[in-house]
Structure 1
Amino acid sequence: MLKKFIQQLFLGYRLYAVLLGLSVIFLLSYWIAFLFPVGIILLWSLAFLLVLDTIILFRKQDALFAQRLLPEKFSNSDVNEVRLLLDNHLAIPITYTIIDEIPVQFQKRDFELKGELPSKEEITLVYQLIPLERGEYYFGDLHVFVQSKLGLVKRRLSFQRGQLVKVYPSFIQMQQYDFLANDTKRVDQGLKKIRRIGHTLEFEQIKEYSLGDDVRSINWKATAKAANLMVNQFQDEKSQPIYSILDMGRVMQMPFEGLSLLDYAINSCLAFSNIAIKKGDKAGVVTFSHTIHKSLAASNRKTHLLGILEMLYGLKTDYLDTDFGLLYTWLKRKVNQRSMVILFTNFEHQSALERQMPYLQAIAKQHLLVVVMFENTLLESVASEPSERISDVLMQTIAGKFLYDKRLMAKELNRHGIQTILTKPKDLSINTINKYLELKARGLI
């Protein structure tokens, strides 16, 4: 009991200030004699108030209740709220100082909340955290230092020794783009929606036979009833497979505004898959670098999005070169139906694209391939800065050359019939979704 009391007892700053004042009084009493008895009286008064303040704070075992309320999961790169519940059980108002042991990933070593809490009252405090990495985050102890109005001593109370919260890809961003899936009146100027008729799984109607119709689709029962040749008409299946391919090689480790390119791609993949499923298409995910890491077959089940979320949760780059030939082989063997393939990767040099172009062309012959590349926003800022020295001009020239090469690579992909998205990292999700909606409106998927 005594050990616990000592561990919880802390001296307040006001006590040190009073002791400093008393020290000055006793020092002056060497020359001014009547100050000595005044100092003695004040010292005994301080001792009495110190004991009184200690009794006030320590007479109740449960003087205060505190609780940290965490959400089930955090959303990466978004603002997440942490709630703190405080309940004062004392009959006096208190002053509190909260020190929460925030996970090491945030590197916040000076976090504290201060305020006052009336007697027998309860309040809820809220602070915000923005995680920049996926994974497990551990919260330590929640410490609350309590003081009375006297402020001579503090009592430290500790609660909730250790809590775990997992940081998932940005599901908040995914929810923000939900409205795009419900925009049924969306009209793109210059785009014509093509309706294809063919032999697929989705039946459309029964119609009279016309010259040129496939005789294999004759419906003999309907023909007998109508006394005229009737054929089944089919249309392209509406639930098209859409695969998001995530490059996990070294090129995706480049950071922008605290997030790696892989994190931007993962957030976009989740938001885009949500839109695709709500539009009736089947969403799948494949991750690869020098090998195929994980794959999730395309599906449009409502629970499929949770599977995608769990799959994306623990992905990390492996700092190795990416094997696009392996990706082509896997797609040819595993994905038999023509699908839309969105490849999240990055090419910084023309030579890197030229090495992979044969594989990209081979994939584009079998599927609708969309290659996503990232603009280097740091180079853009360098190229747009005013130049004052020769070295600045040189840096701007080099930055401009890299930016020009990136646009040239996008045009080269388009020239070979490969759809391309060249985007800033922060605009990736909305540009990917818009590209999907555009291709869907044009009837290409």
Structure 2
Amino acid sequence: MKLFVTNRFYYSATVLTIGFAASYFFPALLIPVKLVFFAFMALLAADFLLLFITGGEVSCERELPERFSNGDDNAVVLRITNRYSFGLDVEVLDELPPQFQMRNLAIVLTVARGETRLASYFVRPTARGEYNFGHTNVLVTTKLAMINRHFKAGHEQTVKVYPSFLHLRKYELIAFSQQQSIEGQRKLRKIGHSMEFDHIKEYTPGDDPRHLNWQASARRGHLMINHYIDEKSQPIYNVIDKSRPMKMPFEGMTLLDYAINASLAISDIALKKGDRAGLVTFQHKPDTIVPAQKGPKQMYVLMESLYHEKTAFTEHNFGMLYAQITAKITSRSLLLLYTNFESLYSLERQLKYLKLLNRKHLVLVIIFRNTELDGLITNGAGDLREVYHQAIAQNMLNEKFAILQLLRQHGILSLYTTPQSLTADVVNKYLELKSRRAI
């Protein structure tokens, strides 16, 4: 049993103390103050009897989803039940995981006798992993509001935070509602594409004799030929750099988490479009590789793989990446490479490997735009120090544009985007390449 006094108790006790002190100088006040004191004690006793002797209780159950979506608002529902024979004012204090750093979350509501009410709040995780919720503390008060009774409800719960999946439906609707023929686009010649079997038909003059089906021809007594169509299912690989540059934070999340969220969204859309989705991660050495496959199970495999990915304070090694992709990925694929080059020199060191990859595959290099640099450049300079800051920011921005220009000069596709717009921009670029038959 835990009892806490309320603010009304302290206010009343303060008034009584002042009254007794004043009656020392004005004896006529003593009797009225004593009457008020006895009334105060009677109310306090009545409040105690109502909360502790009547045998009622208040329970609270926390309803959590099976998993949280990283970077999104996730709902937590509290189910509060009043088993007293009268209404109560209830204040709920939930013990949140330390990752949220929220210590002032309090939900106040009125619950009638025998009533069950639902209350909810939202939390936004910014890192993948396990989040541990503690107990739920419930403070109940009668209309007298002299004391609180504390109930420790619920139990400890653990929720895993996975890459963002709440907005998959939104991006799916965008992908399937967009026009597939955009003015000004042209189809590109596909290099090294494959054919898939469609059906067997009778041979007609002009058909490629290399596709004759001799077994079917023997059964039918005349020439039969296999009919093939361009393979519609293309392999799409999200290639994620997990090195030190991807540790850079933006709005509480790292660039790696933004890349992982975008990878999950583009994989979902690619699978819905009939393509095969795969995953490659690397840093100073090759790491995870998930072969591109079709089917609903592939999303589960990708989500579990992305959940465990962590960045490291190491340099990226594109030479090892090239060796891994060459050995493991034999068919021409679209490689969505999430990385971050901060200087032209860092790109020049890895450019030869990007060129080699681009010969066998279609490489799209995704580079992040530093929005803080934009803010420094657009804001006015108030003193000489801010002028220097603006000059440095402009120089870094020019370096980014030089990186993009160098990639274009060598025929490598690039996408320059902010972390907040990453998912939408990658989805649009994938749809553009798909409509141009570049993959």
Is TM-score (shorter-chain normalized) higher than 0.5?
yes
Look up the SS of the partner of 2:173 in the other structure: helix
Query: Which residue of structure 1 aligns with residue 347 of structure 2?
Result: 353
Moved more, 360-369 or 34-43: 34-43
**1:56 is aligned to 2:53:** no
Q: Aligned partners of 1:198 and 1:377: how far apart in 2?
A: 39
Q: Aligned partners of 1:250 and 1:329: how far apart in 2?
A: 21
Query: Which residue of structure 2 aligns with residue 131 of structure 1?
Result: 125
Query: Which residue of structure 1 aligns with residue 27 of structure 2?
Result: 33
Q: Aligned partners of 2:411 and 2:213: how far apart in 1?
A: 39
Query: Which residue of structure 1 aligns with residue 277 of structure 2?
Result: 283
Look up the SS of the partner of 1:402 in the other structure: helix
Give unmatched runs, 5+ long, in structure 2. Answer: none
Q: Aligned partners of 1:392 and 1:289: how far apart in 2?
A: 36
- Partner of residue 151 from structure 1, selected from 139, 145, 153: 145
Q: Aligned partners of 1:76 and 1:240: how far apart in 2?
A: 28
Matches within 5 A, 1:196-275: 200-203=195-198, 206=201, 208=203, 214-220=208-214, 231-275=225-269
- Partner of residue 324 from structure 1, selected from 300, 315, 318: 318
Identity of aligned residues (%): 37
Query: Which residue of structure 2 aligns with residue 116 of structure 1?
Result: 110
Q: Aligned partners of 1:166 and 1:382: how far apart in 2?
A: 37
Q: Aligned partners of 1:185 and 1:256: how far apart in 2?
A: 32
1:205 Cα offset (Å): 6.3
- Partner of residue 376 from structure 1, selected from 370, 382, 393: 370
- Could you tell me whether the CA contact under 8 Å between 1:274 and 1:305 is conserved in 2? yes
Question: Structure 1 292/62 Cα, relative in aligned 2: closer, same or farther at 3 Å?
Answer: farther
1:190 Cα offset (Å): 1.7
- Could you tell me whether the CA contact under 8 Å between 1:195 and 1:235 is conserved in 2? no
Q: Aligned partners of 1:432 and 1:194: how far apart in 2?
A: 19
- Partner of residue 177 from structure 2, selected from 146, 165, 183: 183
Moved more, 247-256 or 26-35: 26-35
Q: Aligned partners of 1:221 and 1:19: how far apart in 2?
A: 102
- Partner of residue 45 from structure 1, selected from 20, 28, 39: 39
1:62 Cα offset (Å): 4.3
Query: Which residue of structure 2 aligns with residue 20 of structure 1?
Result: 14
Give unmatched runs, 5+ long, in structure 1. Answer: none
1:50 Cα offset (Å): 1.1
Moved more, 174-183 or 227-236: 227-236
- Partner of residue 314 from structure 1, selected from 280, 304, 308: 308
Alignment TM-score, normalising by the size of structure 2 = 0.94
- Partner of residue 391 from structure 1, selected from 385, 388, 393: 385
> One-letter code of the match for 1:245?
V
Q: Aligned partners of 1:99 and 1:300: how far apart in 2?
A: 46
Question: Structure 1 61/202 Cα, relative in aligned 2: closer, same or farther at 3 Å?
Answer: farther
- Partner of residue 168 from structure 1, selected from 155, 162, 166: 162
**1:80 is aligned to 2:43:** no
Question: Structure 1 92/180 Cα, relative in aligned 2: closer, same or farther at 3 Å?
Answer: same
Look up the SS of the partner of 2:391 in the other structure: helix
Matches within 5 A, 1:83-98: 83-98=77-92
| RMSD (CA atoms) | 2.2
1:184 Cα offset (Å): 7.3
Question: Structure 1 235/227 Cα, relative in aligned 2: closer, same or farther at 3 Å?
Answer: same
Q: Aligned partners of 1:239 and 1:311: how far apart in 2?
A: 22
* 1:228-287 deviation line (CA, Å, top 9, x unaligned): 866434233111111111100001000111111001000000000000001111100111
Q: Aligned partners of 1:411 and 1:418: how far apart in 2?
A: 10
Moved more, 125-134 or 262-271: 125-134
Q: Aligned partners of 1:16 and 1:37: how far apart in 2?
A: 21
Look up the SS of the partner of 1:444 in the other structure: coil
**1:441 is aligned to 2:429:** no
Look up the SS of the partner of 1:425 in the other structure: coil
Moved more, 160-169 or 41-50: 41-50
Query: Which residue of structure 1 aligns with residue 334 of structure 2?
Result: 340
- Could you tell me whether the CA contact under 8 Å between 1:173 and 1:267 is conserved in 2? no
Question: Structure 1 284/375 Cα, relative in aligned 2: closer, same or farther at 3 Å?
Answer: same
Q: Aligned partners of 1:60 and 1:363: how far apart in 2?
A: 76
Question: Structure 1 61/367 Cα, relative in aligned 2: closer, same or farther at 3 Å?
Answer: farther
1:427 Cα offset (Å): 0.8
**1:69 is aligned to 2:63:** yes
1:101 Cα offset (Å): 0.9
Question: Structure 1 393/342 Cα, relative in aligned 2: closer, same or farther at 3 Å?
Answer: same
* 1:269-318 deviation line (CA, Å, top 9, x unaligned): 00000000011111001111012222211111111101111111122111
Q: Aligned partners of 2:417 and 2:399: how far apart in 1?
A: 14
Question: Structure 1 381/199 Cα, relative in aligned 2: closer, same or farther at 3 Å?
Answer: closer
Q: Aligned partners of 2:419 and 2:186: how far apart in 1?
A: 30
Question: Structure 1 199/275 Cα, relative in aligned 2: closer, same or farther at 3 Å?
Answer: closer
Q: Aligned partners of 2:27 and 2:178: how far apart in 1?
A: 92
Q: Aligned partners of 1:173 and 1:237: how far apart in 2?
A: 30
- Could you tell me whether the CA contact under 8 Å between 1:244 and 1:285 is conserved in 2? yes
Look up the SS of the partner of 1:182 in the other structure: helix
Look up the SS of the partner of 1:171 in the other structure: coil
1:408 Cα offset (Å): 1.8
